[in-house]
Amino acid sequence: MKKSALQKARAAYQPKLPIVLTGAVKAEAGHATNSVADQEAIKNLFPNTYGLPELKFEKSSTPTPSKPVNVGVILSGGQAPGGHNVICGLFDGIKKVHRDSKLYGFLMGPGGFVNHDYMELTAEFIKDYRNTGGFDIIGSGRTKLETKEQFDKGLEILRELNISALVIIGGDDSNTNAAVLAEYYKSINAGVQVLGCPKTIDGDLKNDVIETSFGFDTATKVYSELIGNIQRDCNSAKKYWHFIKLMGRSASHIALECALQCQPNVCIISEEVEEKNMSLQDVVNYIADIVAARAAKGMNFGSVLIPEGLIEFIPAVKRLIAELNDLLAEKAEEFATVDAADQRDWIIDNLSEANAKVYKSLPPRVARQLSLDRDPHGNVQVSLIETEKLLSEMVGKRLEEMREEGSYNGKYASLHHFFGYEGRCSDPSNFDADYCYALGFNAACLIRAGVTGYMSSVRNLTKPSVQWVAGGIPITMMMNMERRNGEMKPVIQKALVRLDGAPFQKFAAQRDEWAVNTCYIYPGPIQFFGPAEICDQPTLTLKYEHQGK
Amino acid sequence: MKKSALQKARAAYQPKLPIVLTGAVKAEAGHATNSVADQEAIKNLFPNTYGLPELKFEKSSTPTPSKPVNVGVILSGGQAPGGHNVICGLFDGIKKVHRDSKLYGFLMGPGGFVNHDYMELTAEFIKDYRNTGGFDIIGSGRTKLETKEQFDKGLEILRELNISALVIIGGDDSNTNAAVLAEYYKSINAGVQVLGCPKTIDGDLKNDVIETSFGFDTATKVYSELIGNIQRDCNSAKKYWHFIKLMGRSASHIALECALQCQPNVCIISEEVEEKNMSLQDVVNYIADIVAARAAKGMNFGSVLIPEGLIEFIPAVKRLIAELNDLLAEKAEEFATVDAADQRDWIIDNLSEANAKVYKSLPPRVARQLSLDRDPHGNVQVSLIETEKLLSEMVGKRLEEMREEGSYNGKYASLHHFFGYEGRCSDPSNFDADYCYALGFNAACLIRAGVTGYMSSVRNLTKPSVQWVAGGIPITMMMNMERRNGEMKPVIQKALVRLDGAPFQKFAAQRDEWAVNTCYIYPGPIQFFGPAEICDQPTLTLKYEHQGK
């Protein structure tokens, strides 16, 4: 690997550990826990790992003797900055337990565990990955660990390598699977601990006890750099509206954090759209009104942030998609015989009146995408819809109506951007470098504490990292029952943006001013070597959530 | 303006000046110069400003007395990082000449000069813009300064404000116009000096005496950060081919610099495509062969860089577009009566055989774009063509053919990106912050030297900035005659990528290895506060060009 100058310099960075983890620790157990909902059901499904206590590590004055431990690690799902540091922290942690401990990485995600593709991670090998972005150290994958066959197959390689603990670095689904695996291994007395680490740039894996998932900090800083640059361009040329779609799956945390960082003219929050039962046209009108208000002040330019998941949160569109899926499945044969030129009319004739109306309101290109581009299960591929173009096109139409009504008299030209892959593998910010290293190191402490079914937890994150609090949270505590593919399943509750939460409230209190004035902030690129107020700040989401407590 | 933490810290950065400019200077004149071509024609058009000598500033031991000078400044054309620092350097420079000197900024580009929209730039006002990106200090615009009426109208406001020197910060066209304006004011003895500064992220304003335009350094570093991040994602998930289009207009300097920085699997250089008379299908086959070669080694992922101007450099496409423009203009009435569904066939029937074949080879969506989306002059809008999607689609088709032939047996999925606006207004790198400040400060020295029709020149740029050489280059020296809108015009020769130049040669020598292996480099974000090997490096283009000398 030919390294960039920055990579070489960053290799020397020593992530800051919470002070408590720098010496010998003992695990202090809190009260027994309950799941956030559906307690009876969850308890029945996790008889061996339900109700465990929260753990908090405290300094211990009496180091206990230790023996080597072999540990396996899996990177699961989409990349997030800092994953390499979780592995480095875990490695250093188990080496501190005993220098003969070994770390094995399963390759290309959970598939490597099931298929016995692995490598030993040595000090020499991992040194090139310290404080770097990406998951390329062992690769990642989206295989779901769900079946007994997979668990048993995986157990074979764990036995072969004498691995007694498995750490799964993943999002809500992967950690759910970690809990199921922990329960299973416990139930058969396999002698293997299973632990999780909270990963996702989307920021939707958090709750009262997990303050944030790793990667959210860095990814939102990269997107904010780009949004700030675009806004500065926008405010220099003064002739374009920039529509910027941002990754984040269902939740709007990324869009919200970027809005707090950059103060755009518009930021749509999907959760609010759903709560207010807004139609697509309502969203369009909201934006068009702001375009018109700025035009009236002579400003024919602006910025609009759009969360990736928006379209699915618009109740009317959600209903249309549901009916379309059913319709195209039920009448697949008939639809196949319809001429391309007549498909639009056929769909309109076959939809209920309400959904036909929504369908007709969509630009033809988008409507076409909805009926033609379907996934292997025959479902409409909502993620293919270029919401940023859809909205800007509909806003343009609405402005023409307003021009005829006399309520708009400006120029409107739009440009489009979608940011996602640009931020998932960035070099981790100092925050994520420290947080991830601590999560991994802390996982080693949980292994030493002998527990299973826990998620590595590092808290107090708005304080300097030496003051962070470390421990473990029983994964079952975060679970409830949800319908998945027609079946009720135990899953970790996904954290959407709370409209009563401090981050959204801060945004809502200022957005009207940001809309009509130009209050852009230009955060610039992530810095690693400068003063702390530039290099060591957590997200505003985290700051406001803590202030709100 | 609410400032980001980085902005606050960067405000304190003092750009490093060439040592020669830190004290009193005298201008040493070299030999009389000639234009790069068409010397008689250029000489006739610029009787008063042709043949001037190159100037180089040297330390002077005898400071001469000075009086206040009023100066006007214009930002012209697309944004480039560092524009604000040119203005700050100019301000500090004329204040050093005399503390009562004044700087006026014309608003929103050359239009502000013609329309008398201006503001005085005070120390208090500009301090918020030091070392920041964007052109928002006074705005920019694309009005072309070309007519005597504009020149005379502008002269009125110069007289009113007692301005005796005008600095135009722009690209090749704007500097050409600066030379014409300088000649005109000289010819009427207006008593106004006109000077230019070389700006453009595209890097196509350079020659033997101008080493680089400002903004190229920062913009390519921003794009390289993003390309690096995407390549790390690509190398982690190992399942996508990322097609990345990069700004840069006709020239491929940006794509080439990013390729040298990031070592992608493929980078297309438009100038080479033209030189080798490659067809679109040739380009597609070249990429498809690399996809197949990587697939054969188990790597179904990769990165492809595409310069924005590619499509216009493909000779066959160029010919098709020329005929389409003529056809749709000549037979506009007939074409208007053709049913949408029959337009494709109509076009194919009416084109020459060779061009019809090329037209048929294009994906229908792209072919449609070519015939339907025309600009106000009726010309095909080549810039609207999403080359990144066009190529990935055609590569997909080619791979299916290869699969049938048995020469490909992989999986192919692609993602698309276009980077441009993300980098034009970034905070300038230390290089651009220093270079721009020096260009502006040096322009003040040229004003004091009493010359006109010169471009501010700062050279020796691969050395530490204190060792840079400062002076002035007669703009006519860079000119030749070119056909523009059917007329021969004097213009600054645009610098395309030279296939015999060191940067391209370095790339060409390594690209086959980069293609089939994975040699990605991840440059990371621009750093301002770290060690010099990270923060103070010029582009590789500049380094190799200097090594090649």
Tokens of A94: 């188990």
Largest pairwise CA distance in chain B: 81
Sequence-distant (6+) residues with CB within 8 A of A439 are A86, A89, A197, A198, A214, A456, A458
- Which of A341, A426, A521 faces B341 most closely, judged by CB atoms? A341
| CA distances, A183 to each of A35, A74, A89, A106, A145 (Å) | 15, 18, 25, 21, 13
Cβ contact A136–B232 (<8 Å) = yes
CA dist B142 and B111 (Å) reads 8
Name the residue among A6, A222, A521 with its Cβ closest to that of B4.
Answer: A521
Q: Is A542 on the interface with B (CB under 8 A)?
A: no
CB contacts, 8 Å: B389 with chain A: none
Mean pLDDT along residues A438-466 = 97
Q: Does B229 touch chain A (CB under 8 A)?
A: yes
Mean pLDDT, range B287-309, rounded to an integer: 97
Per-residue pLDDT tens over the stretch B320-336: 988 988 888 888 889 88
**Residue B53 is encoded by which pair of tokens?**
């000598």
Best mutation target among A135, A224, A232 (most B Cβ atoms within 10 Å) is A232
For an interface test with A, give the residue of B1, B136, B245, B429 to mutate (most A CBs within 10 A): B136
Question: Is residue B244 within 8 Å of B305, Cβ to Cβ?
Answer: yes
Of B236, B263, B422, the CB nearest to A79: B236
DSSP H or E segment with residue A472? strand A469-474
With cut-offs at 50, 70 and 90, classify the pLDDT of residue A377. low
User: With 80 as the cut, is the pLDDT of residue A380 above it?
Assistant: no
Cβ separation of B522 and A229 shorter than 8 Å? no
* Per-residue DSSP letter, B264: -
Task: Determine contact: A260 vs chain B, CB below 8 A.
Answer: no
Q: Which residues of A touch B3 (CB under 8 A)?
A: 521
**pLDDT digit string (tens) for A476-510?**
999 999 987 778 999 999 999 999 999 999 999 99
Q: Nearest by CB to B427, which of A423, A519, A524?
A: A524
Q: Do the chains contact at B233 and A421, CB–CB below 8 Å?
A: yes
Taking 90 as the threshold, does the pLDDT of residue B132 lie above it? Answer: yes
Confidence of residue A255 (pLDDT cuts 50, 70, 90): very high
ipTM: 0.96
- Option in B132, B263, B534 nearest A5 (CB): B534
Radius of gyration from C-alpha coordinates of chain B? 25
pLDDT category of residue A371 using cuts at 50, 70 and 90: confident
Contacts of A135 in chain B (CB under 8 A): 236-237
pLDDT at B378 over 70: no
Q: Do B6 and A242 touch (CB under 8 A)?
A: no
**B215 and A CB contact within 8 Å:** no
Tell me what the mean pLDDT of segment B187-198 comes to: 98
pLDDT digits 0-9 by tens, B202-231: 999 999 889 999 999 999 999 999 999 999
Give chain B's mean pLDDT.
95
pLDDT digits (tens, 9 = 90+) for A143-156: 999 999 999 999 99
B202 is catalytic: yes
Q: What are the residues whose beta carbons fall under 8 Å from the beta carbon of A115, sequence distance 6 or more?
A: none
Angle formed at CA B4 by CA B3 and CA B10, multiple of 5 degrees: 90
Size of interface A-B (CB pairs under 8 A): 181
Locate the chain A residue with the closest alpha carbon to B133.
A232
Put simply, the answer to whether A232 touches B10 (Cβ < 8 Å) is no
Q: Which residue of A has its CA nearest to B428?
A: A524
Rounded mean pLDDT of chain A? 95
Per-residue confidence band for A414, with pLDDT thresholds at 50, 70 and 90: very high
pLDDT on residue A548:
65
Is B411 an interface residue toward A (CB < 8 Å)? Answer: no
Task: Render pLDDT for B467-494 as a digit per residue (tens, 0 to 9).
Answer: 999 999 999 999 999 987 778 999 999 9
DSSP string, B186-245: HHTT---EEEEEEB-TT--S--SS----BTHHHHHHHHHHHHHHHHHHHHHH---EEEEE
Chain B contact present for A383, CB below 8 A: no
Cα A196 to Cα A457: distance, rounded to the nearest angstrom: 9
Burial A324-360 (b: 16+ CB within 10 A, else e): bbebbeeeeeebeeeeeeeebebbeebbeeebbebbe
pLDDT at A325: 86
The Cα of B59 is separated from the nearest Cα of chain A by a number of Å equal to 35
Question: pLDDT band at B548, cuts 50/70/90?
Answer: low
State mean pLDDT over B89-97.
97
Select the residue from A132, A136, A510 to test the B interface by mutation, using most B Cβ atoms within 10 A: A136
* More confident: B36 or A368: B36
Q: Which residues of B touch A237 (CB under 8 A)?
A: 78-79, 135, 139-140
A63: pLDDT strictly greater than 80 = no
Place B411 in a pLDDT band, splitting at 50, 70 and 90. Answer: very high
Length of chain A: 549
**Amino acid in position A154:** G
Q: What's the pLDDT score for residue B376?
A: 64
Contact of A236 with chain B, judged by CB distance below 8 Å, is answered with: yes
Q: CA-CA distance, A362 to A381, in Å (whole number)?
A: 15
**To the nearest whole angstrom, how far is the Cα of A507 from the nearest Cα of chain B?**
15
Q: Model confidence over A224-235: pLDDT tens digits?
A: 999 999 999 999
- A537 interface with B at CB cutoff 8 Å: yes
Q: Which residues of A touch B10 (CB under 8 A)?
A: 524
User: Distance (Å, rounded) from C-alpha A25 to C-alpha A490?
Assistant: 33
Q: Cα distance from B47 to chain A (closest Cα, Å)?
A: 36
Query: For the residues B241-261, what does the mean pLDDT come to?
Result: 96
| Residue A371 CA to its chain's centroid (Å) | 29
At A481 the three-state DSSP class reads strand
Structure confidence at residue B38 (pLDDT): 96
User: Is the per-residue pLDDT at B179 higher than 70?
Assistant: yes
Contacts of residue B84 in chain A, CB cutoff 8 Å? Answer: none
Please name the residues between 290 and 329 in chain B that touch chain A, using a CB distance below 8 Å: none
* Residue A526 at interface with chain B, using a CB cutoff of 8 Å: yes
Report which of residues B381 and A399 the model is more confident about. A399
B4 interfacial to chain A (CB closer than 8 Å): yes
Residue numbers of A between 480 and 519 with CB closer than 8 Å to B: 519
- Please list the alpha-helical segments (H only) found in A161-276: 172-187, 216-237, 253-262, 270-275
Half-sphere exposure of A31 (CA within 13 A, CB side): 2
Among A134, A155, A135, A136, smallest CA distance to A145 is for A155
Q: Give how far Cα A101 sits from Cα of A96, A105, B243, B544, Å.
A: 9, 14, 43, 48
Task: Please list the active-site residues of A.
Answer: 202
B61 touches chain A (CB under 8 A): no
In sign, the C-alpha dihedral spanning A74, A171, A141, A148 is positive
SS3 letters for B454-504? EEEEEECCCCCHHHCEEEEEEHHHHEEEEEECCEEEEEECCCCCCCCCHHH
Q: Which residues of A touch B237 (CB under 8 A)?
A: 78-79, 135, 139-140
Helical axes A353-361 vs A315-330, angle rounded to 10°? 110
